[in-house]
Amino acid sequence: MMNKKPQSSPAATSRRRFLRHSTLGAMALTIIPRHVLGGRGYVAPSDKITLGFIGTGKQSGGLGRRFLEIPECQMVAACDVFEGKLQRFQKQVNAHYAEANGAGSYDGCQGYKEYEALIARDDLDAVIVCLPDHWHAPVAIAAMAAGKDVYCEKPMAHTVAEGRAMVNATRKYDRVFQTGSMQRSWDDFRQAVELVRNGYLGELTSVKVNVGDPAVTDDLPDESTPAGLDWDRWLGPAPQRGYSAVLAPPLSDDGWPMWRRYAEYGGGILSDWGAHMFDIAQWGLGMDESGPVEFIPPTEAGATRGLRMVYANGVEMTHEDFGRGWAVQFNGTEGKIEVSRSFLESDIPGLVERTIGDSEIRVYKSTDHYRDWLDAIRNRTRPICDVEVGHRSASVCNLANIAYQLKRPLRWNPKKEKFKGDKEANGLLVKTYRQPYGL
């Protein structure tokens, strides 16, 4: 015969219910958010976006610090063909994290000479491409094919064909791509653009952009290659030549490398700064998915200013020095706005201080170019300087260089991305890669 379960008294039942509820309450009170456990600004390691930095030369100093200051990401890898520069970058990263974590030492940033090994890491979420322009497309496309999101320095692409290939790869692999034209995340440039877009200058008639000279052909003498530099790998898809300290300065030289001046590796200062200033002009004109339809170079021999670029709506943009340094000038029937990294000015009193209303045209607002990319990675959205934006701004620079080189008017179809009736000009939209490097 089965024994019956003893019945609990009402008092005992009430006590058990009280103890159970009290225990649950105590447990609830001890479930503390991870950011509280780690203190103010703490982000759990599992919540961090892991980054790899590809290219540790001059630009990596400032750009690297921008990302090191953001606790929501972690720099876990770096890559460079110059061993001394790579080690210097690793030392800076590891010292930063050691101090931030209150540790005596830290060695979590692993170094690589070849980017292929870095992007093969399964624990890597995204990469920062901080290389000379001629390497941007091969590395960025390979990284996206490996499932990594990309932040790529400007100018985004070395040729128009490369830029379109980068756009196609971003969409194919569903990646988040930010171009490093960070002026779009600066208040003055956004204010200038919104004033222009809302018609405060009246009907827009012209834009003047002052940046540096077009690219020239590399004619530098050969020098002895420094120890620790894989020069063949630095050249990569560019033509074979001997080492030059102008192109890749030794560790003892902290100046800006001038590979950017030469057509084999960059696009001249016209591209180097044009990727900033022509980008703002494109933004103000609402041409982020288009560009000029005519390129009319100056007729004077050896001219490095004076190129006219005409949009389909009749607005003319000129590459000229209007006496304000590297800057953009928007001109309308009612006045003008001039903007640079040093000033935002207008000949219309009180205009630049005007508050743009909520019902007016507003552009994408980012106040931090680097966090904007990281936020887009988390949300799987497009950042302020998405790959198409970067491609179109780089295209203006690349096409301007072609016009200066050929010294004749060119008609451009922004939709087809081809010159009209000019086989020679269309041949310059692509380049020949030195094997086994390139796309």
Report the pLDDT value the prediction gives residue 41, as an integer from 0 to 100.
Answer: 57
What DSSP element (H or E) covers 79? strand 73-79
Residues 304 and 300: their CA atoms lie apart, in Å, by 9
Residues 351 and 354: their CA atoms lie apart, in Å, by 5
Q: Which residues contact 215 (CB under 8 A, 6 or more apart)?
A: 261, 262, 263, 266, 267, 268, 270, 271, 401
Report the pLDDT value the prediction gives residue 180, as an integer from 0 to 100.
Answer: 98
How does pLDDT run across 221-261, given as a tens digit for each residue?
A: 999 999 999 999 999 999 999 999 999 999 999 999 999 99
Asked if 102 and 86 count as a contact pair (C-beta separation under 8 A), the reply is: no
Helix axes 187-197, 268-285, angle to 10 degrees: 50
In the chain, what are the domain boundaries? 45-182, 183-215+266-427
Same fold for the pair 45-182 and 183-215+266-427: no
Task: State both tokens at 355.
Answer: 């508050």
Q: Phi and psi (nearest 5°) for 82?
A: -105, 105
Domain 45-182 CATH class label: alpha beta
Report the pLDDT value the prediction gives residue 42, as an integer from 0 to 100.
Answer: 60
Q: Phi and psi (nearest 5°) for 133?
A: -55, -35
Neighbours of 229 (CB within 10 A): 19
Residue-level pLDDT, tens digit, the chain, 439 residues: 333 333 444 433 343 343 334 433 443 333 434 444 445 556 777 789 999 999 999 999 999 999 999 999 999 999 999 999 999 999 999 999 999 988 788 899 999 999 999 999 999 999 999 999 999 999 999 999 999 999 999 999 999 999 999 999 999 999 999 999 999 999 999 999 999 999 999 999 999 999 999 999 999 999 999 999 999 999 999 999 999 999 999 999 999 999 999 999 999 999 999 999 999 999 999 999 999 999 999 999 999 999 999 999 999 999 999 999 999 999 999 999 999 999 999 999 999 999 999 999 999 999 999 999 999 999 999 999 999 999 999 999 999 999 999 999 999 999 999 999 999 999 999 999 999 998 9
This prediction has a pTM of 0.89
User: What number of residues does the chain have?
Assistant: 439
Report the pLDDT value the prediction gives residue 101, as an integer from 0 to 100.
Answer: 86
Inter-residue long-range contacts of 86-93, CB under 8 Å, 24+ positions, other chains counted: 86/56, 86/111, 86/113, 87/111, 88/56, 88/251, 89/53, 89/56, 89/60, 89/64, 92/61, 92/64, 93/53, 93/64, 93/68
For the segment(s) 183-215+266-427, the CATH number from 3.40.50.970, 3.30.1280.10, 3.30.360.10, 3.30.1540.20 is 3.30.360.10
Residues 66 and 93: their CA atoms lie apart, in Å, by 11
Task: State both tokens at 388.
Answer: 């198409």
Residues 173 and 167: their CA atoms lie apart, in Å, by 10
Helix axes 160-172, 387-406, angle to 10 degrees: 170
Q: Which residues contact 117 (CB under 8 A, 6 or more apart)?
A: 79
Separation of first and last alpha carbons in the chain: 84
The dihedral built from the CA positions of residue 134, 137, 138 and 143, taken in this order, carries a sign that is positive
Residue with the two structure tokens 């101090």: 99
Report the pLDDT value the prediction gives residue 143, as an integer from 0 to 100.
Answer: 98
